[in-house]
Structure 1
Amino acid sequence: MNKIMNGKLVIVLILCLAYAVNLEAQKTKIKFQKLTWEEAMKKAEKEKKFIFVDAYRPSCESCDKAITEVFTVDSIATLYNKHFVSIRINMHTEAGKAFAPKLQMLMYPAYIFFSADGEQLGSSNSHNFVQDHGQAMYQAHLAITQGNNRLNNSRSILFEEISWEAVLAKSKKENKPIFIDAYTTWCRPCIQMDRNVFTLDNVADFYNENFINVKLNAEKGEGIDIRKKFEIKAYPTYLYLDTNGELVSRTSGYTEAKEFIDYGKNALKAFTNKNAEGKGIQFQQGTWKDILKKSRVENKLIFFDGYTTWCGPCKTMAKDVFTNDTIADFFNENFINVKFDMEKGEGIDLKKHYKVAAYPTYIYIDGNGNEIHRTVGSTSVEQFAKYGEDALSEDRTLSYLKKQYESGNREAALVTAYLSALKVAYNRKEVSNVAVEFLDGLKGKQLLTEGNWLIIKDYLSDAESKSFAYLVNNRKKFYQLYDKKEVDDKIYNTYLNTVHKYVTYNDDKTVNFDEDGFNKYLKSVNKSGVDRKERIIAYSTVNNLASRREWARYAEEIDKGLANGNIEKSPLILYNYALTIKRVEESPEILSKAAHWAKLGGDVEPNKDYVARYYNLQADLLVKAGKTDEAAAARSTFKPEELEKANKMNPMKALIIKKK
């Protein structure tokens, strides 16, 4: 009997084992083939596939985890098996040493995607794949897209293989600007541009038609001279030069095709403008001392352009406004024009002396170095012309208006003009001080006049001021005279603009919190009975906690506000809240909450072209929280090209709160 039972038990065990083996065999996983690199290329060409290479080293924990945890995921394995010939290469073997140049300076272990002819399409590593399984899908889709682009494009930028002297001669003869790709052999982004961008038909056609194209190794031959002349310190750097070899514009780094073409278009426009005789503001060269002397000798004001190389609005002004004929004629005739980079040379000291805090800053200065007028930011041609005329006037300069105000002139027209000039000069603190001082000095009923209402509406930003209290307590009187929504919006925004004053920072970055002042502020909001008072309190509390860097309570208040409706389910607000947590927090619990906000933002975003940004942020937060499977699921809701499109379409200005 025992023998029979033992026999049956053996049979059952064998069947169970066979079933388990069968289940394992049925489990989908990436099929790594035992092929050499050369054999993989032939097979990929024959099957019209791409190549995926796991370039590994022995005793790599993350590599082993990827094999068992990532490459066995059904969706990942199915994608790779369909589109790639997959092979593994041990980099510590002779085959690995032979393959090493194909890494193109990548550190192994690495995952590399190739076209059938051996060109890199993308890369990642086992750490990224294990940390976020979605990356395996994302990188594969990118490689497939890149590979298909290569198959659909047959042309590339044609670079001249002639001397620099011959390049200049050809540029002058054809009246074409010069495009220089300054690269190094060790620069990976340089290689990627060669491979992914220069080989696209639309890029090649544009550059071949409009430029004399030159490729120079910045560490050899004539490339060294170009590197020194233009102070090239990053690679790749792209120089756009005129027919005399002088700089028209420059940029650097890996750049996608559309943006790269746009750089070329902007350079062409600048080249055309530069060639036009007398066109554009003529900026003088020399030291600041020389400029001041020239100003005194010619009895002209100095127009001072304080810029930085990374400032987008600075470039827009230089390209679209300074080149305007009317602007150029007016400024060249009436001013000594000069521009200084606020981060280089004399610009550093001038920035401190004139207290430049934003870019671009335009200052009108007399020959003794006294500031006469100032404006900040990009603007239209018409408005910029008016600012120049204001600087030459006797009664519209900032210095004149300030002198009049400080001497006791409180005429409404002068105060309004002074406030407007301060606002244009981006002096927000002084705008607030002057507005409060003027309005608080009026009797209650005077605040109801149209002129003073305009000052309240445009310039008052302190909820603790006497004039604001009058507005709140007498808002029904204002309703009778002015649009109710305008009045309510002014009250709402003034309360929110005041909350920042209760938190300040010491030099050592520690926080000072005026708790009594903030609580008094909250009580005044609650007592006011104004529309949306609960929402004002909710936003003020959240913003105050962010300023104090109390992120756990910050997250709690956001969740509370979303639940009771006091915080709007606005896509941009939710995105900014979530992005802030990504930048400052490590707690998995708080990161998970922020991931929920990001998803909610994507769910309510009305423009479906943007939603990939939200779900990508959700995935990033989940990865940081250690929830890789949930991150992969979030990442699977959009395609890489959808994220790329969303990032390029009117990128959202996210709230930035830095760790201090």
Structure 2
Amino acid sequence: MKKYILLIFACIYAIHLSAQNAGINFLHGTTWTEAVAKAKAENKLIFIDFYTQWCGPCLNMAQTVFSLPTVGYYYNQTFINLKIDAEEGEGITLAKKYGVRSYPTYAFIDPATEEIVHHSSSRQTPEQFIQTGKDATVPTKRSFYLQDQYTKGNRERAFLIDYINYHYSVYARKNVQAAFDELIKGGAKLTDPDVWEVYVNTINGMNPYLKQVSDNYADFCQRFGKKNVDAKLAKETSYGELAEIEALCNYEGKDFNLKMIRINNDIREQKYEAAATQIDAMIADTTINQQELIGRLKFIARLGYKAEELPEFWFNKCVGYLQYIAYNQTDRDDAFIHQEYAAALEMVLRKLNGKAPIPASLSTEPAYGKKVYNMRPDALKMKPKRKK
């Protein structure tokens, strides 16, 4: 029996260790000198995540990206990994040495020279972050090489694509746009597969390129598929001027975007009843993708610190919309909307102390969507009742 219990504990401990080691294994309690020596011995670059304890994106990366097995596998195999608080101890000196001015900053150091060879930053997707690491191992894709070559006038097609992708990963939008314009001026065409990929991934907003896609809609659909072309057009016209968007070709998502822009315009002009009428109609419309609508409603219904200044009608409608979102969003792990709904309910309670009426959305059963508020995922079926 004792052996059996010990085996169970051993298995639990092994699972615990496996979970701990799933992501990036950062060295802790190691001095900079020791880290450099270890990197030299293993012939690896040093990866440093420079962070601060007050940096939101730093915490987000630590929790959602650094902890992933796919990210950990690549970084653990490739680098000596350090996580350094730029405002504490040795981190202050190192942050100054490597020119850290924003957080998070990702620095890749050659231990032989202790010089930084690649630099990146900002919140990134797991895929982007793995690519950041891969670029650090290729001299011609490193940030300093790219900037040096661009300054010297290198405008080769493959180089510009690497330059654009890097600057997009660090949110340098002006550099991305300028380099893409040069790519096109150099003879590349938007219909070229590699250029189309760069355009879809890195160029945003209403611009002449989007109009080119619209004017040649059938050709682009034939080359890259209607679904992909529609997705790009819809994404880039989520916001903008009504007249400009109306002038574009017809594509999946255009009508939805136009409705949402009209709603936002009404809210901006404090035409709350008109906005509510349109929103209510969209919630009731079974042909509209409700999850897409919910994604946009999150920002429209957010009450914020100016909630007390809102007319009672619009305040109560927003509480109702927050309830609809909290009840019906399929991602039950998204804590943000539940926090927003809870905050709205607190505001309602405070208003009740002043004899304000309970919003109808809270005193009656929801007219649309789920009738009960719980965290049960839609894909999880109810357990069948046992037959007597």
* TM-score grouping bracket, smaller chain normalisation: 0.5 to 0.7
Verify: 1:528 aligned to 2:274, yes or no: no
Could you tell me which amino acid in structure 1 is paired with residue 168 of structure 2?
Answer: K
CA distance in 2, matches of 1:317, 1:560: 41
1:598 to 2:326 alignment: no
Q: Please give the alpha-carbon distance, in whole angstroms, between the structure 1 residues aligned to 2:333 and 2:27.
A: 43
Matched, 1:634 2:362: yes
Deviations 1:376-432 (A, max 9, x none): 55766x986764443132222222233334433333332222222333344445334
Aligned residue in 2 for 1:313: 61
Q: 1:619 to 1:330 in 2, by over 3 A?
A: closer
Change over 3 Å in CA distance of 1:305–1:434 after alignment to 2: same
The corresponding residue for 1:571 is: 294
**Deviation (angstroms), 1:591:** 0.6
Q: Could you tell me which residue of structure 2 aligns to residue 559 of structure 1?
A: 276
Please name the residue that 1:474 is paired with: 216
Secondary structure class of the residue paired with 2:221: helix
C-alpha distance 388-616 of structure 1, shift in aligned 2 (>3 A): closer
**TM-fit CA distance, 1:296:** 12
- Offset at residue 460 of structure 1 (A): 1.6
Give the CA deviation at 1:347: 5.0
SS at match of 2:48: strand
Distance in 2 of aligned mates of 1:347 and 1:442: 44
Residue 585 of structure 1 aligns to a residue whose secondary structure is helix
Partners in 2 of 1:394 and 1:400 — Cα distance?
7
**Matches of 1:456 and 1:389, distance apart in 2:** 22
Amino acid at match of 2:362: A
Unaligned runs of 5+ in 2: 1-8, 367-371, 379-388
**From 374, 377, 384, the counterpart of 2:120:** 374
Instruction: Give the direction of change, closer, same or farther, for the CA distance of 1:307–1:327 in structure 2 (3 Å limit).
Output: same
Once the two structures are superposed, residues 543-586 of structure 1 have per-residue CA deviations (whole angstroms, 9 ceiling, x without a partner) of 6788xxx5835x456325425659975334334422x1254321
Alignment of 1:156-235 (within 5 A): none
Contact in 1 for aligned 2:47/2:82 (Cα 8 Å): yes
CA distance in 1, matches of 2:91, 2:262: 41
> 8 Å contact 1:317–1:379 — kept in the other structure?
yes
Cα 1:383–1:266 change in 2 (3 A) is farther
Q: Which amino acid aligns with 1:527?
A: A
Change (3 A) 1:571 1:432: same
Q: Which amino acid aligns with 2:279?
A: L
Which letter maps to 1:528? L
For the 8 Å contact 1:410–1:438, the answer to whether it is kept is: yes
Q: Which of 206, 212, 233 is the equivalent residue of 1:463?
A: 206
Q: Separation in 2 of the partners of 1:606 and 1:338?
A: 37
Question: Residue 284 and residue 605 in structure 1: after superposition, are their counterparts in 2 closer, same or farther (change >3 A)?
Answer: closer
Listed one character per residue, the Cα deviations across residues 269-301 of structure 1 (whole Å, up to 9, x for unaligned) are: 38986xxxxx945367457xx799989999975
Pairing of 1:224-373 with structure 2 (within 5 A): 268-269=16-17, 280-282=25-27, 285-286=30-31, 301-309=45-53, 311-315=59-63, 327-328=75-76, 330-332=78-80, 337-342=81-86, 344=88, 350=95, 353-357=99-103, 359=104, 361-365=105-109, 367=113, 370=116, 372-373=118-119
- Give the number of the structure whose residues are more often strand, by fraction: 1
Q: Taking structure 1 as reference, are residues 604 and 328 closer, same or farther at Cα in structure 2, changes over 3 Å only?
A: closer
Counterpart Cα distance in 1 of 2:193 and 2:248: 24
Q: Secondary structure at the match of 1:597?
A: helix
CA 1:462–1:266: 2 relative to 1, 3 Å: farther
Q: CA deviation at 1:319?
A: 5.1
Paired positions, count? 340
- Residue of structure 2 equivalent to 1:514: none
**Matching residue of 2:180:** 435
From 409, 416, 420, the equivalent of 2:165 is 420
Q: What SS class does the counterpart of residue 270 from structure 2 fall into?
A: helix
SS where residue 141 of structure 2 aligns? coil
| Counterpart residue number, 1:453 | 196
How many Å separate the matches in 1 of 2:90 and 2:326? Answer: 47
d(CA) in 1 for partners of 2:124, 2:13:
21
CA distance in 2, matches of 1:268, 1:618: 38
Offset from partner CA, 1:173-221 (integer Å, 9 cap, x none): xxxxxxxxxxxxxxxxxxxxxxxxxxxxxxxxxxxx89xxxxxxxxxxx
- The amino acid across from 1:630 in the alignment is I
1:589 to 310, 313, 332: 313
Q: What is the CA–CA distance in structure 2 between the aligned matches of 1:411 and 1:482, rounded to whole Å?
A: 25
Structure 2: distance between partners of 1:545 and 1:573: 15
Q: 2:141 aligns with which of 385, 388, 396?
A: 396
Give 1:314's aligned amino acid. A
User: Could you say what the CA RMSD is over the residues aligned between the two structures, in angstroms?
Assistant: 5.1
Distance change >3 Å, CA 556–CA 286, structure 1 → 2: farther
> C-alpha distance in 2, partners of 1:411/1:558?
50
Partner of 1:114: none
Unaligned regions of 5+ residues in structure 1, if any?
1-208, 211-263, 274-278, 500-520, 651-660
* Match among 242, 260, 275 for residue 539 of structure 1: 260
Aligned pair in 2 of structure 1 residues 396, 606: CA closer, same or farther (>3 Å)?
A: closer
Question: Which digits, 9 at most, give the CA deviation of each residue in 1:488-508, with x for residues without a partner?
Answer: 2212212336x4xxxxxxxxx
Name the SS for the 1:447 alignment partner: coil
Name the CA shift for 1:266/1:537 in 2 (closer, same or farther; >3 Å).
farther
Q: How has the CA–CA distance of structure 1 residues 389 and 492 changed in structure 2, closer, same or farther, with 3 Å as cutoff?
A: closer
Whether the aligned pair in 1 keeps the contact of 2:107 and 2:118 (CA below 8 Å) is yes
- Measure the CA separation in 1 of the matches of 2:199 and 2:45: 34
Secondary structure of 2:47's counterpart equals strand
- Seen in structure 2, the aligned counterparts of structure 1 residues 552 and 495 have a Cα distance that, compared at 3 Å, is same
The 1-side partners of 2:64 and 2:333 are apart by: 26
- Check the 8 A contact 1:364/1:373 in 2, yes or no: yes
Structure 1 residues 344, 590: closer, same or farther in 2, change over 3 A? farther
Computing the radius of gyration from Cα coordinates, the structure with the larger value is 1
Q: 1:458 to 1:557 in 2, by over 3 A?
A: farther
Q: Is this contact kept in 2: 1:270–1:319, CA < 8 A?
A: no
Distance of aligned partners of 1:417 and 1:308 in 2 relative to their CA distance in 1, 3 Å threshold: same
Q: CA–CA distance in 1 between the matches of 2:44 and 2:281? A: 62
Distance 1:606 1:412, change over 3 A: same
CA–CA distance in structure 2, aligned partners of residues 347 and 541 of structure 1: 50
Deviations 1:597-622 (A, max 9, x none): 23444676578999x95975764454
Instruction: Tell whether the 8 Å contact from 2:263 to 2:275 is kept in structure 1 after alignment.
Output: yes
> Following TM superposition, by how much is the alpha carbon of 1:528 offset from its aligned partner in structure 2, in angstroms?
2.6
The residue identity in structure 2 corresponding to 1:341 is D
User: What's the CA shift for 1:594?
Assistant: 0.9
